[in-house]
Structure 1
Amino acid sequence: MSTPESTGNDAFAKAAKEINDLTKKPNNTELLQLYSLFKQGIFGDNTTAQPGMFDLSGKAKWNAWNEKKGKSKADAQAEYIALVEELKAKYA
């Protein structure tokens, strides 16, 4: 299984750990953005089956990740790192 550490990007791995240290929870839009950039940064394009219509949370996550299709892993990791820095300033 892939992990942030296995990407070889130390800044990405550090950001993935630091996001858990926030004192307040980001809003749902920010959480979906974090999720989608993280998944794209680790796995690349979404190739999983789309969740059923009654799995609203799963469907939102799937759609958010699928919107990143075509973005390179490196670009997604860079955007993830920048978003974590922004959220640290906002919620730390």
Structure 2
Amino acid sequence: MSLKDQFDAAVAASKQLPERPDNMTLLKIYALFKQASEGDCEGKRPGFTDMVGRAKFDAWDGLKGTSKDEAMQQYIDLIEELK
């Protein structure tokens, strides 16, 4: 099974976790997914009135420089831990 296939399976599994992860874990899942699928974060940071958008941007931006393959592997590992 290729890394991409494992990643796709983990994405599907993330929607069926036994319980909802805490907000920090959800941010990490989001950031790893974005890094794995789109690469480094680009664009402007949302303003302070958009706290959710800002938190997502900061989490994703924190992974800058991480390869897509590395982000995929981290995502797979995190979802496996949460199962």
The TM-score bracket by the shorter chain reads over 0.9
Calculate percent identity across the aligned residue pairs: 43
Residue 13 of structure 1 aligns with which residue?
8
Matched, 1:75 2:63: no
Residue 52 of structure 1 aligns with which residue?
47
Work out the number of aligned pairs and report it: 81
Structure 1: runs of 5+ lacking an equivalent: 1-7
1:65 corresponds to which letter in structure 2? W
Provide TM-score, normalisation by structure 1: 0.85
Give RMSD over aligned pairs: 1.0
Cα offsets for 1:34-66 (capped at 9, x unmatched) = 000000000000012211110000000000000
Residue 5 of structure 1 aligns with which residue?
none
Q: Matches of 1:87 and 1:23 in 2, distance apart?
A: 8
Structure 2: runs of 5+ lacking an equivalent: none
Q: After the TM superposition, which segments of 4 or more aligned residues of structure 1 sit over 3 Å from their partners?
A: none
Q: Matches of 2:67 and 2:8 in 1, distance apart?
A: 17
Q: 2:23 aligns with which of 25, 28, 52?
A: 28
